[in-house]
């Protein structure tokens, strides 16, 4: 509850900050301070300190999973601010509003990670989506950005419609929005209404996390949006919706697992296949990362498929690993003038530190041991294996992980083994230190995943 | 204690090397580190034999049922010793070879050594997988950064090949993990779980894991990454790859495959032994026609590994004992050959046999060493390889399969072919008349003499007096062979 209210208030504060604060540095500092505050109040709630007492009539439940996840998301956003807040200046004139929108998104994230009623889920998803449409189109003079925003808005509202339709059908079948009531034990086969509603909800969520075949918007939107915001969309937002996804299917449709499990398995396989194979053919690192986000979503979908303790722990680790690594790579990418693979040629010579940290992030995404990426993939595979069926899916997933090595390592090869014109990159000392911190975090989580997962059993 | 030090020393000194900018200093530092590792390894072998020094277990990921568990048994002692001997020899032999960014080169070499140490020591499947991959990453960077012209594509092929293999192995590990009663990754739990599997499940696990090991060894037809990688990699790395790293595959079979899924391993023996022998003949025939010395030795290595793999699938005491000795001997011999080739290339600028000749006149000491190592490569009596190959042949001849005679004859042909290509290489490189390339060469310097001296000493020591090494590994060999003994002659319980 703390984080929910504080993030909404912070959004309003940021909106007005541009009226009072003239310098961009001041706005940035307020935003970063606000983010630190958000992390702090969230941890306070975790320790049992409630700042606000509001009766939500059982519509929201801030359980341990939600709180730990929120902490991961907020810390990632804080690191994202530290790395990339400076680069938001280049996007347009409304510097303070960008921060305000991001705080509103975080408010939506808090809702969607802790809902217990389908209405709150809908609210959360919408509060996440609408600021995102604006951020995508924030580069107003760029035609590609406009196109991306329009595309995202049209398809996004369509999927919202499907989400609502699904909620309506489920309500028709069960007479309640509450997840506990929906999942209450019943005899006989589930009604067609319930199954239909569940499928529609699945499609809508699949759209939001860009699962194949609902992924077509992703590359265009990620490519068209200003790169700073792509970084945010591809990591924090995606992770948040994933948590909503797993929460929905765990709490509301747990009993129907037999009905949806194979369906999710097929979606997972398709996502892994299309995401990885298409990423191989990309020439721009930004587009490659867009497709890589699809393929990573495929791996995260394994958690929904397996739906056991390992899966939930693993998803937590996965979101952390994926967010940290991708934010790091994007932070470096934003500094580059050339987004193609050739643009990275010879980076190790001109910027050895940037190259080294990017390598750690790429290794993590590829799932090499001693990085967080490995253990999170490992958790996913372990969870899927524990279901005891569909071994083909697990084998297929690792083969696709091997394919992903191809495009991640292309960047490493460009940086280290190819000669190129050194680019002019302005990296401040604090930027470099944050990158080092991020890389250290990735490695630390790769050796001691208990640093995050342990909090679930605190 | 000893086991942990074997990993920690190269790991920490390796990380430190990144920060030593002076080339001379970092060379000495790397050599010093590798000598310390050798000292630790010898200490464990000779003085501190008490098991409490040789093993260490502490909690790592309790939620997953994985612990940091390392232990030195006979097999581990043998291979860590090989690893510990190889690196000082490599560093001494390449003392005069210049490297760009020497600090990174030596750091990665030491990290690679640490990874391989971990593989040989791990008693926990997840830890084993961890180190298995960690050993690969430094090698990837070493080959792509300091290798030959086509290095990037070739190394990438090598990396993807091994990565696919190890991921499949990961599935195998996870599959077994789910079958353990205590949900643990410890090797003992795996041994117990393996015994409960049905024949079909055993086959699945066997193939998932064997592919990883077969790629690493490599066994025909999964060997295609190997000649290219050996040719393109910087020679110091090639030494580490062929001397130590390929043993990871053989080791994996011995520790993680045979004891766990012995039933499936026994069943597929008749399929895999011919495959190994085909690989031997095929590689030997190609080696006969090679002009590039590096490629020739690479193919010779495939042939030798083929014999090792055939020895593995004899699954009896003699064959497995031979494999143990031969793993060590092959590592020593091939590093010796690479040292010679590296020196020739550095001095003459070419590796082509057609452009060489008469080195015995200009570099007589080199020729002496070269001939001895070449003879060891052919497995002449009194050299180390003879002991191993003799035991392997004995094993094949007395193996359970009905085709044992065929296998022995076909493998025997490879010995003849081996002599043919090795002697052809020596003749073309060292003998005959000098030409304008080889005429101006001066003899090997002290550092190469020391390195080659150590190699030759080891060749003769093991060749003449192999008993300590046989004693060291007999325990492990017996226990594996017994597993197969039970399968071949199941004890019928009286009613």
pLDDT digits (tens, 9 = 90+) for A145-201: 999 999 999 999 999 999 999 999 999 888 888 888 888 877 777 888 888 999 999
Burial of residue A25 (CB within 10 Å: 0-12, 13-18, 19+) is: exposed
Residues of B in contact with A382 (CB under 8 A): 64, 174, 177
**Option in B134, B151, B160 nearest A406 (CB):** B160
A372 interfacial to chain B (CB closer than 8 Å): no
For residues A80 and A32, the answer to whether their CB atoms sit within 8 Å is no
Nearest CA in chain B to A349: B101
**Option in B129, B151, B167 nearest A402 (CB):** B167
Residue B24: its H or E element = helix B23-46
Q: Residue A33: pLDDT band by 50, 70, 90 thresholds?
A: very high
Strand partners, B57: B69
How far is the C-alpha of B85 from the C-alpha of B78, rounded, in Å? Answer: 11
HEC profile of B277-323: HHHHHHHHHHHHCCCEHHHHHHHHHHHHHHHHHHHHCCCCHHHHHHH
* Residue A139 in tokens: 């580069």
A434 has a pLDDT exceeding 70: yes
Q: Output the pLDDT for position A142.
A: 87
How far away is chain B from the Cα of A330, in angstroms, using its nearest Cα? 23
For residues A35 and A78, the answer to whether their CB atoms sit within 8 Å is yes
B230 has a pLDDT exceeding 80: yes
How far is the C-alpha of B10 from the C-alpha of B114, rounded, in Å? Answer: 5
Name the residue with tokens 């980076």: A347
Least-confidence region, from A438-442, B169-173, B448-452: B448-452
- DSSP H helices in A254-284: 257-280
- Report the pLDDT averaged over residues B23-38: 89
- Number of Cβ within a 10 Å radius of residue A245: 27
In this complex, do B133 and A368 lie within 8 Å of one another by their Cβ atoms? yes
For residues B334 and B243, the answer to whether their CB atoms sit within 8 Å is yes
How far is the C-alpha of B357 from the C-alpha of B297, rounded, in Å? Answer: 17
* Residue A435 in tokens: 């990158």
Q: Output the pLDDT for position B494.
A: 64
**Option in A370, A381, A453 nearest B170 (CB):** A381
In this complex, do B178 and A369 lie within 8 Å of one another by their Cβ atoms? no
**Option in A402, A413, A453 nearest B144 (CB):** A413
Backbone angles phi, psi at A64, to 5 degrees: -60, -45
Q: Calculate the alpha carbon distances from B479 to A447, B62, B177, B262 in Å.
A: 34, 30, 23, 12
Nearest Cα residue to A353 out of A444, A446, A430? A430
A450 interfacial to chain B (CB closer than 8 Å): yes
For residues A400 and A295, the answer to whether their CB atoms sit within 8 Å is yes
How far is the C-alpha of B244 from the C-alpha of B116, rounded, in Å? Answer: 8
Residues of B in contact with A418 (CB under 8 A): 152
**Option in B64, B152, B160 nearest A402 (CB):** B160
Q: How much of chain B exceeds pLDDT 90, in percent?
A: 11
Name the residue with tokens 């022998």: B277
Alpha carbon dihedral A339, A344, A347, A352, in 10-degree steps, equals 80
Nearest CA in chain B to A382: B174
How far away is chain A from the Cα of B146, in angstroms, using its nearest Cα? 9
- Report the pLDDT averaged over residues B476-483: 86
Output B420-424 pairs: Cβ under 8 A, ≥24 positions apart. B420/B288, B421/B284, B421/B287, B421/B288, B421/B290, B421/B296, B421/B300, B422/B300, B422/B374, B422/B377, B422/B378, B423/B374, B423/B378, B424/B288, B424/B353
Over residues B405-425, the pLDDT tens digits come to 888 888 888 888 989 999 988
For residues A370 and B130, the answer to whether their CB atoms sit within 8 Å is yes
A365 interfacial to chain B (CB closer than 8 Å): no
How far away is chain A from the Cα of B471, in angstroms, using its nearest Cα? 36
How far is the C-alpha of B218 from the C-alpha of B227, rounded, in Å? Answer: 10
For residues B116 and B250, the answer to whether their CB atoms sit within 8 Å is no
Q: Output the pLDDT for position A122.
A: 93
* Residue B311 in tokens: 């020895």
How far away is chain B from the Cα of A81, in angstroms, using its nearest Cα? 31
For residues A305 and A380, the answer to whether their CB atoms sit within 8 Å is no
Does residue A421 sit in helix, strand or coil?
Answer: coil
A328 has a pLDDT exceeding 90: yes
Does residue A359 sit in helix, strand or coil?
Answer: helix
Counting one residue from chain A and one from chain B, the pairs whose CB atoms sit within 8 A come to 65
Q: How many CA atoms lie within 13 A of B88 on its CB side?
A: 18
In this complex, do B168 and A370 lie within 8 Å of one another by their Cβ atoms? no
How far is the C-alpha of B253 from the C-alpha of A355, rounded, in Å? Answer: 37
- Max distance between CA atoms of chain A, in angstroms, equals 69
Nearest CA in chain B to A450: B61
A385 interfacial to chain B (CB closer than 8 Å): yes
Q: Residue B495: pLDDT band by 50, 70, 90 thresholds?
A: low
For residues A303 and A314, the answer to whether their CB atoms sit within 8 Å is yes
* Residue B213 in tokens: 């090991």
How far away is chain A from the Cα of B153, in angstroms, using its nearest Cα? 10
Q: Which residues, including other chains, have CB under 8 Å from residue B420's CB and lie 6 or more apart?
A: B288
Over residues A103-130, the pLDDT tens digits come to 999 999 999 999 999 999 999 999 999 9
Burial of residue A188 (CB within 10 Å: 0-12, 13-18, 19+) is: exposed
For residues B85 and B38, the answer to whether their CB atoms sit within 8 Å is yes
- Max distance between CA atoms of chain B, in angstroms, equals 83
* Residue A249 in tokens: 């299917």
**Option in B151, B164, B178 nearest A399 (CB):** B164
Residue B69: its H or E element = strand B66-71
Q: Which residues, including other chains, have CB under 8 Å from residue A40's CB and lie 6 or more apart?
A: none
A392 interfacial to chain B (CB closer than 8 Å): no
Q: Residue B492: pLDDT band by 50, 70, 90 thresholds?
A: low
- Number of Cβ within a 10 Å radius of residue A175: 10
Helix A391-417 crosses helix B151-179 at what angle (to 10 degrees)? 150
Q: Output the pLDDT for position A427.
A: 81
Q: Residue B22: pLDDT band by 50, 70, 90 thresholds?
A: confident
In this complex, do A417 and B170 lie within 8 Å of one another by their Cβ atoms? no
* Residue A219 in tokens: 């590359």
Name the residue with tokens 């939620």: B63
How far is the C-alpha of B238 from the C-alpha of B334, rounded, in Å? Answer: 10
A333 interfacial to chain B (CB closer than 8 Å): no
Over residues A283-318, the pLDDT tens digits come to 889 999 999 999 999 999 999 998 888 888 889 999
**Option in B63, B129, B160 nearest A369 (CB):** B129
Mutation for B interface: A403, A417, A455, most B CBs within 10 A: A417
Nearest CA in chain A to B174: A382
Helix A257-280 crosses helix A285-306 at what angle (to 10 degrees)? 160
How far is the C-alpha of B305 from the C-alpha of B333, rounded, in Å? Answer: 13
Name the residue with tokens 């060379």: B27
**Terminal-residue alpha carbon distance, chain B:** 50
B401 has a pLDDT exceeding 80: no
How far away is chain B from the Cα of A129, in angstroms, using its nearest Cα? 36
CA quadruple A139, A141, A144, A148: dihedral positive or negative? positive
Residue A327: its H or E element = helix A309-335
**Option in A369, A381, A394 nearest B133 (CB):** A369
In this complex, do B151 and A417 lie within 8 Å of one another by their Cβ atoms? yes
> Residues B342, B344, B349, CA angle at the centre, nearest 5°?
95
For residues B444 and B456, the answer to whether their CB atoms sit within 8 Å is no
Chain A segment 412-441 residues within 8 A of B by beta carbon are: 413, 416-418
Over residues B170-196, the pLDDT tens digits come to 999 999 998 888 888 888 888 888 888
Strand partners, B56: B70
For residues A201 and A171, the answer to whether their CB atoms sit within 8 Å is no
**Option in B63, B134, B167 nearest A370 (CB):** B134
* A424 or B238: which leads in pLDDT: B238
């Amino acid at each position: 509850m703390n984080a929910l209210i504080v993030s909404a208030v912070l959004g309003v504060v940021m909106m007005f900050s541009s009226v009072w604060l003239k310098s961009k540095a001041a706005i940035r500092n307020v935003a970063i301070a606000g983010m630190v505050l958000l992390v702090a109040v969230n941890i306070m709630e975790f320790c049992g300190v409630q700042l606000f007492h509001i009766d939500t009539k059982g519509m929201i439940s801030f359980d341990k999973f939600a709180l730990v996840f929120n902490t991961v998301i907020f810390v990632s956003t804080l690191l994202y601010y530290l790395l990339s807040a400076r680069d938001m200046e280049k996007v347009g004139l409304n510097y303070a509003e960008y921060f305000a929108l991001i705080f509103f998104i975080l408010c939506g994230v808090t809702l969607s990670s802790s809902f217990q009623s389908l209405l709150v889920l809908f609210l959360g998803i919408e509060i996440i989506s609408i600021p995102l449409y604006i951020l995508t189109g924030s580069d107003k003079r760029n035609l590609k950005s406009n196109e991306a925003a329009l595309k995202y808005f049209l398809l996004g509202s369509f999927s919202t419609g499907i989400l609502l339709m699904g909620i309506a059908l489920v309500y028709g079948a069960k007479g309640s929005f509450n997840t506990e009531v929906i999942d209450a034990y019943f005899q006989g086969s589930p009604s067609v209404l319930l199954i239909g509603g569940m499928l529609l909800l699945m499609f809508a969520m699949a759209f939001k996390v860009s699962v194949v075949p609902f992924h077509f918007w992703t590359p265009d939107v990620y490519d068209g949006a200003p790169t700073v915001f792509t970084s945010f969309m591809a990591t924090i937002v995606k992770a948040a919706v994933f948590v909503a996804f797993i929460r929905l299917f765990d709490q509301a449709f747990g009993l129907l697992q037999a009905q949806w499990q194979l369906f999710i398995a097929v979606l997972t396989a398709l996502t892994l296949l299309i995401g990885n194979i298409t990423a191989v053919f990309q020439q721009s690192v930004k587009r490659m990362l867009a497709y890589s986000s699809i393929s990573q979503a495929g791996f995260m979908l394994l958690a929904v498929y397996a739906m056991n303790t390992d899966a939930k722990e693993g998803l937590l680790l996965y979101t952390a690993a994926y967010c940290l690594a991708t934010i790091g790579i994007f932070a470096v990418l934003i500094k580059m003038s050339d987004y193609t693979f050739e643009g990275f040629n010879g980076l190790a010579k001109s910027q050895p530190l940037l190259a080294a940290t990017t390598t750690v992030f790429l290794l993590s995404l590829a799932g090499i041991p001693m990085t967080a990426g490995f253990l999170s993939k490992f958790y996913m595979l372990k969870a899927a294996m524990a279901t005891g069926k569909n071994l083909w899916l697990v084998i297929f997933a690792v083969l696709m992980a091997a394919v992903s090595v191809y495009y991640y390592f292309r960047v490493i090869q460009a940086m280290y083994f190819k000669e190129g014109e050194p680019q002019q990159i302005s990296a401040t000392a604090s930027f470099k230190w944050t990158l080092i911190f991020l890389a250290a975090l990735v490695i630390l989580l790769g050796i001691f995943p208990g640093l995050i997962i342990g909090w679930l059993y605190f | 204690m000893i086991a942990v030090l074997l990993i920690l020393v190269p790991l920490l000194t390796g990380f430190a090397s990144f920060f030593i900018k002076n080339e001379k200093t970092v060379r000495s530092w790397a050599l010093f580190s590798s000598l310390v590792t050798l000292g630790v390894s010898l200490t464990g072998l000779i003085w501190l034999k008490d098991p409490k020094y040789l093993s260490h277990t502490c909690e790592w990921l309790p939620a997953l049922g994985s612990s940091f568990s390392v232990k030195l048994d006979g097999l581990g002692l043998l291979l860590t010793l090989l690893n510990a001997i190889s690196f000082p020899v490599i560093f001494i032999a390449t003392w005069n070879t210049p490297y760009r960014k020497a600090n990174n080169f030596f750091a990665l070499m030491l990290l690679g050594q640490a990874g391989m140490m971990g593989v040989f020591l791990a008693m926990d499947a997840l830890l084993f997988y961890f180190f298995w991959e960690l050993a690969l990453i430094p090698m990837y960077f070493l080959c792509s950064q300091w290798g030959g012209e086509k290095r990037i594509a070739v190394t990438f092929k090598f990396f993807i090949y091994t990565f696919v293999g190890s991921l499949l192995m990961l599935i195998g590990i996870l599959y077994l993990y789910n079958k353990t009663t205590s949900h643990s990754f410890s090797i003992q739990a795996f041994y117990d779980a393996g015994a409960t599997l049905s024949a079909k499940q055993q086959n699945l696990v066997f193939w998932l894991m064997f592919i990883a090991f077969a790629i690493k060894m490599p066994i025909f037809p999964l060997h295609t990454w190997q000649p290219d990688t050996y040719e393109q990699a910087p020679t110091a790395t090639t030494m580490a790859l062929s001397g130590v790293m390929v043993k990871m595959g053989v080791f994996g079979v011995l520790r993680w495959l045979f004891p766990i899924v012995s039933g499936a391993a026994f069943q597929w023996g008749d399929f895999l032994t011919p495959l190994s022998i085909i690989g031997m003949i095929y590689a030997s025939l190609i080696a006969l026609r090679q002009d590039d010395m590096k490629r020739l030795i690479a193919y010779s290595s495939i042939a030798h590994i083929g014999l090792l793999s055939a020895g593995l699938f004899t699954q009896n005491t003699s064959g497995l004992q031979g494999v143990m000795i031969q793993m060590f001997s092959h590592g020593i011999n091939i590093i010796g050959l690479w040292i010679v080739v590296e020196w020739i290339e550095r001095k003459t600028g070419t590796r082509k046999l057609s452009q060489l000749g008469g080195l015995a006149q200009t570099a007589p000491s080199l020729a002496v060493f070269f001939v001895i190592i070449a003879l060891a490569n052919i497995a002449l009596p009194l050299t180390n390889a003879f002991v191993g190959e003799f035991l392997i042949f004995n094993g094949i001849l007395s193996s359970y399969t009905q085709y044992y005679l065929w296998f022995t004859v076909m493998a025997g042909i490879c010995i003849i072919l081996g002599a043919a290509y090795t002697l052809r290489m020596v003749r073309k490189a060292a003998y005959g008349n000098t030409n304008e390339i080889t005429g101006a060469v001066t003899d090997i310097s002290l550092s190469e003499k020391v390195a080659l001296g150590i190699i030759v000493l080891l060749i003769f020591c093991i060749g003449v007096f192999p008993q300590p090494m046989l004693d060291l590994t007999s325990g492990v060999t017996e226990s594996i062979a017994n597993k197969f003994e039970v399968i071949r002659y199941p004890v019928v319980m009286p009613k």
